[in-house]
Structure 1
Amino acid sequence: MSAQAEQLIAKSCTPCRGGIPPLKPDEAETHRHQTPDWALLDDAHRIERRFAFDSFADAFKFVQRVAELAETEGHHPDITFGWGYATISLQTHKINGLHENDFILAAKIDQTAMTEH
C-alpha cells in the first residue's frame, strides 16, 4: 500500500451537509492517484472499483465487511455483487459529486480487500 493511501486511511470521513462544491475533475484525478485501482467515472462525479472473489460466499463476506466499515465512517457506497465479484461505487450524493470522503472510504475498502485475500 502506498504512503498516499496510508495517509487517507489515517483520516475519517467527515459529515457532509451539502453546500460545498464537489471536487473539480483535476482535483478528483489528484485524489484518485492515491487510490489507483479505482476508476474515475461520470465526468469525475463518482469512483468505482470491481473486486474479484473465488465464490459467492467470499463476495458476500467482503460486502458485509464493507457495510460495517461504511456504517463506522458514516459514508455509504452503492454496492452490487454476485458470484465471484463485488462492484463498489462511491460519490457524495449531497453535493452530487466527489469529496475527499469518497477517497478515504475507497482507501479503507482497498485495505479491507487486502485482508480478505
Structure 2
Amino acid sequence: MALGEMKCVPCQVGAKPLAPAEAEALLAEVPGWSLVEEATAIQRKFAWPDFAQALAFADRVGGLAEQEGHHPVLTVGWGFCTVRFRTGKIKGLHQNDFVMAARVNALVG
C-alpha cells in the first residue's frame, strides 16, 4: 500500500525511531521532503504566490493533522509554508511522519 493511502497508527510502547536506512528508503517515496535535525525530522517548504494562499494551505494541513492525530510544526510567511514532521514520543522519525508527508503532498497534487 502506498504511503498516501495509509492512516497514522499510534506508536506502540517501546517503539523505536526509524533507522537511517529505513528513513532514507521512505524519503524516496515523498518527493520534495528532506531529512533535517540530524535525520530526526523531515520537512518541505511549499511556495505560494502570497500570504493568503500560504495560510490557506497551512489550514488544510492542520485539518489533515487533526483527522490523523499526527501534528506538524508549521511555519507560515509571505509566499511560503514550511511543514516539518517528527514523532515527539520517540524523539525521531516514525512511519507516521512519512504517511503524513505523502498525504500533505497529495493536497497540492
- State the TM-score, normalized to the length of structure 2: 0.95
The one-letter amino acid of 1:68's match is G
Q: Deviations over 1:77-112 (max 9, x none)?
A: 000001100001101000000000000000000011
| Counterpart residue type for residue 66 of structure 1 | V
The residue that corresponds to 2:32 in the other structure is 37
How far has the Cα of 1:43 moved from its partner?
2.4
1:46 aligns with 2:27: no
Higher-helix-fraction structure:
1
Which runs of 5 or more residues in structure 2 are unaligned?
A: none
Identical amino acids, percent of aligned pairs? 45
Q: Deviations over 1:45-91 (max 9, x none)?
A: 00010000001100010000000000001000000001100001101
- Alpha-carbon distance in 1 for matches of 2:13, 2:63: 24
What is the match of residue 59 of structure 1?
A: 54
Aligned length: 109
CA distance, structure 2, for counterparts of residue 18 and residue 98 of structure 1:
15
Q: Does 1:16 pair with 2:1?
A: no
Q: Report whether the alignment pairs 1:80 with 2:82.
A: no
1:105 correspondence with 2:100: yes
**CA offset at residue 17 of structure 1?**
4.8
Instruction: Give the alignment's TM-score, normalised by structure 1.
Output: 0.89
Unaligned runs of at least 5 residues, structure 1: 1-5
How far the C-alpha of 1:15 sits from its partner, in A, is 1.1
- Note the aligned Cα RMSD (angstroms): 1.2
Moved more, 97-106 or 6-15: 6-15
Distance 1:28 1:46 in 2: 10
Stretches of 4+ aligned residues off by more than 3 angstroms:
none
